């Protein structure tokens, strides 16, 4: 997700509040929202996977182990 996408989302949101959007802009806004939300979902998924793969107190340096457990 780029700054340009976020900027455009904000531009369209402002225009929608102030004067409304035409059908093409509404379609663009929906597409950009989908991109944005998918990016957020991927970030959360990655964070949750990292947490579940390494329990608190693990000092393995975030390396994945074949047996699924962290070794100290």
Dist CA 25 CA 17 (whole Å): 13
Token pair belonging to 67: 């047996």
Q: Which residues contact 70 (CB under 8 A, 6 or more apart)?
A: 54, 55, 58, 59, 60
- Residue 72 pLDDT more than 50? no
Task: Give the pLDDT score at 25.
Answer: 98
The CATH classification number of 3-53 equals 1.10.287
How much is the pTM?
A: 0.67
Q: Where do the H-state alpha helices sit in 19-67?
A: 23-53
Task: Give the pLDDT score at 15.
Answer: 98
pLDDT for 1-19, tens place per residue? 789 999 999 999 999 999 9
The residue ranking higher by pLDDT, 31 or 72, is 31
Domain ranges of the chain: 3-53
- Give CA 53 to chain center in angstroms: 20
């Amino acid at each position: 997700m780029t700054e340009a996408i976020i900027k455009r989302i904000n531009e369209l949101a402002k225009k929608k509040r102030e004067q409304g959007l035409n059908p093409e802009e509404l379609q663009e806004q929906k597409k950009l929202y989908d991109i944005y939300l998918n990016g957020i979902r991927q970030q959360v998924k990655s964070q949750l996977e990292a947490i579940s793969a390494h329990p608190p107190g693990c000092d393995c340096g975030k390396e994945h182990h074949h047996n699924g457990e962290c070794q100290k």
